[in-house]
Amino acid sequence: MIEAASLTKRYGKTLAVEDLSFSVTPGTVTGFLGPNGAGKSTTMRMILGLDNPTSGDVRIGGKRYGELRHPLRTVGALLDAKWVHPNRSARAHLTWMARSNQIPARRVDEVLEAVGLSGVANRRAGGFSLGMSQRLGLAAALLGDPEVLLFDEPVNGLDPEGILWIRRFMHRLADEGRTVFVSSHLLSEMALTATELVVIGRGKLIAQSSTDEFVARASGETVRVRSAAPDVLAKALRAEGAELTESEDALLVSGMDSTRIGEVALANSVALSELSPERGSLEQAFMHITGDSVEYHAGSGPVMAESASDIPDPLTTAAK
Ligand SMILES: Nc1ncnc2c1ncn2[C@@H]1O[C@H](COP(=O)(O)OP(=O)(O)OP(=O)(O)O)[C@@H](O)[C@H]1O
């Protein structure tokens, strides 16, 4: 559990984070969403005690970071995957971290296995690709088997396979009951990764809600309907107050949910061949809610379909 209360950070004239309150609960992936410069990294640094708030505070399991007896066993973080000493092997890096944090050495092999790096454990980390470096960073975050995990822009620069792997990894960690807090400016990616969202713009809270609610509130829901008698159905739906747009072979209905549309169709003896709610994108939601209060430009990252099922999931061997 992470709880921020009126968290504020000022750098000279810049108010990077302003009166920010939110909570992040265990067992879900919570996305920390906002455009570049919104204050995400600053907030993450304050959670981890790397920066002091100007006012307000943030607690992990009820304690400030500085009060934690075994910080790495409580919270693991991936802020910058490239901070590893380039000449150290992945195993040497993790062994050094484990030793300096009183973590048993056997844990090193467990986390290497969990992130799928066992086969390259003795290679120089300096020669790792970005995807491998990210996995090593995740292994380091998991070393203390922490309940709380923080990831700052973990998919930046990754290829589609790497993005999918990270997404699955996070879901798995949340399914294990951990608190997973992940920042991103890639809204389409967050829509697939996070079930809860904390959305900020210019250092201030814009929304805290489920991803579904956030999108529904901002964009409303459209339902795609196909039938053999579209004219009859369209007339009946309009009579019941729905708004309709026609698209090729289907009707796009807004202002009425799919249950009600089904009832109207039945009452008019129209058989339906499709009745599918279409959710607005997170990009639309964000733009709609923030208006021009933030300078936001949608990220160019691809939205991955869950199609690369042939990618191995090393988490099946994850400890805990
Ligand atoms: N050490 C610092 N000194 C001065 N200003 C800073 C410092 N760190 C961050 N800022 C400013 O605070 C604001 C928030 O920055 P922050 O890096 O937290 O945003 P962000 O949401 O993480 O963005 P990005 O995704 O680009 O990293 C920005 O205006 C930034 O320039």
Q: Which residue has the higher pLDDT, 93 or 292?
A: 93
For the chain, the structural domain boundaries read 2-216+297-317, 221-279
User: Among the atoms of ligand 1, which is closest to the Cα of residue 200?
Assistant: 21
Q: Whose CA is nearest to atom 16 of ligand 1?
A: 39
As a whole number of angstroms, the distance between CA 289 and CA 218 comes to 6
Any ligand 1 atom below 6 A from CB of 50: no
CATH 3.30.420.40 assigned to 221-279: no
Classify domain 2-216+297-317 at the CATH superfamily level. Answer: P-loop containing nucleotide triphosphate hydrolases (3.40.50.300)
Q: How far apart, in whole angstroms, are the C-alpha atoms of residue 66 and residue 307?
A: 43
Buried b / exposed e across 10-46, counting CB within 10 Å, b at 16+?
Answer: eeeeebbbbebebebebebbbbbbbbebbbbbbbbbb
Assess whether the C-beta atom of 41 lies below 6 angstroms from ligand 1.
yes
Q: In sequence order, what E strands does the chain have?
A: 2-11, 14-24, 29-33, 55-60, 75-78, 148-152, 179-184, 196-201, 204-210, 221-227, 243-247, 250-254, 272-279
Beta strands 204-210; 221-227: pairing state: unpaired
What is the rounded average pLDDT of the residues 118-123? 87
Ligand 1 mutation target, pool 17, 32, 42, most atoms within 8 A of CB: 42
What pLDDT is attached to residue 298? 37
Q: What is the pLDDT of residues 202-248, one digit of tens each?
A: 899 988 999 888 876 666 678 899 998 999 999 999 999 998 887 77
296: three-class secondary structure by DSSP: coil
Hey, which of 8, 40, 150, 286 would you mutate to test ligand 1's pocket, going by the most ligand atoms within 8 Å of its Cβ? Answer: 40
Query: What's the gap in Å between 43 CA and the centre of ligand 1?
Result: 9
Per-residue pLDDT tens over the stretch 168-206: 989 999 999 999 999 988 777 888 899 999 999 889 998
- Of 20-34, 111-125, 160-174, highest mean pLDDT: 20-34
pLDDT band at 283 (very low <50, low <70, confident <90, very high): low
Atom 24 of ligand 1 has which residue's CA nearest to it? 36
Amino acid 286: pLDDT = 66
Ligand 1 nearest atom to the CA of residue 45, by list position: 18
- Per-residue confidence (pLDDT) for residue 287, from 0 to 100: 67
Fold identical between 2-216+297-317 and 221-279? no
Per-residue confidence (pLDDT) for residue 11, from 0 to 100: 94
pLDDT at 249: 81
> Cβ(38) to ligand 1 under 6 A?
yes
Residue 19 has pLDDT above 90, yes or no: yes
Q: Regarding predicted confidence, which is higher, 293 or 103?
A: 103
Residues 6+ apart with CB under 8 A from 235: none
202 touches ligand 1 (CB under 6 Å): no
Q: Does 200 sit in the ligand 1 pocket, CB within 6 Å?
A: no
Q: What average pLDDT score do residues 17-22 get? A: 96
Q: CA triplet 309, 313, 318: central angle to 5 degrees?
A: 155
The dihedral through the CA atoms of 137, 142, 144, 150 has a sign that is positive
- Which DSSP helix (H) or strand (E) runs through 167? helix 160-175
**Would you say the CB of residue 185 lies under 6 angstroms from ligand 1?**
yes
